[in-house]
Amino acid sequence: MTYCIAINTDEGLVFCSDSRTNAGFDNISIYSKMHTFVWPGERTLVLLSAGNLATTQAVVKKIWSDIENSAAVNLQSSPDIRSAADYIASISAGVQKQHVERDTSSTNFEATFIFGGQIGTDKPEIMLIYPQGNFIHESEEHPFLQIGEVKYGKPILDRIIKRSTPLTQAARCALVSMNSTTRSNLTVGAPIDLMIYSKGALDFGQRMSLTENDPFAKQMSEYWNQGLVQALDSLPRFPWELN
């Protein structure tokens, strides 16, 4: 399993992903699911991947080889985020089709992606690319996208994230959402990759990779627990407690 989040705020973008892959309970590996494609001053693009690892690796490999070979369509030359998402969706669907045709045991080769970034002076955008080869952008009301094990970490995003949320607060919220998920689902795990991109920067952004015992990650988790206890204490008393 996997958990990835992207948030699109007025100040910029947040991307966050875990690094655990598993094929059954006894076959666990660490692979980063965050792939960045940056041409400083021109474009910053980020791809987060969930699903069949052979599919997602083949898709990322194809994206890089198309860039290196200056293919007719590639991430460096795509005119906008939407057409770049369509290009990735088309690669993903093609890879899955190829693997399905080879397979004799109805394996699930599906992969889901979050793709986003900024190209030149365009607005930053984020897209969720489905295994079926189509894609959607985030909603205006809830400007975030999730893939993988989405339920544990959704309530905090639902309650906090708006377009106007400051960029670093959105990033802290993403880390909390990720932390709630890694605590509850064994197949989502550290290192946690975080990238914070300021609108208009067209650079590599601020990037962190937090291991399980990283002091910053531990402090985050401890402070969050304390904050929740205080939040609970601040809730209204039951009517019979007031007498």
Residues that bind its own copies (CB under 8 A): 151-156, 158-160, 168-169, 171-173, 176, 180-181, 183-184, 196, 206, 208, 216, 219-220, 223-241
* Sign of the four-CA dihedral 149, 151, 157, 163: positive
Contact between 226 and 68 under an 8 Å Cβ cutoff? The reply is no
Kindly state the tokens that stand for 127: 């897209």
Residue 125 forms beta bridges with which residues? 117
Label residue 214 exposed, middle or buried (CB < 10 Å: 0-12, 13-18, 19+): middle
- Give least dist CB 132 to its own copies, A: 22
124: left (phi over 0), alpha (psi -120 to 50) or beta: beta
**Separation in Å, CA 8 to CA 15, 124, 150:** 9, 7, 17
- Give least dist CB 29 to its own copies, A: 24
Which residues touch 229 (CB under 8 Å, ≥6 apart)? none
In angstroms, the CA 143 to CA 160 distance is: 10
Element housing 222 (H / E)? helix 215-233
Chain length of the chain: 243
Contact between 19 and 33 under an 8 Å Cβ cutoff? The reply is yes
- Give least dist CB 171 to its own copies, A: 7
> SS3 of 78, please?
coil
58 vs 196 by CB, closer to its own copies? 196
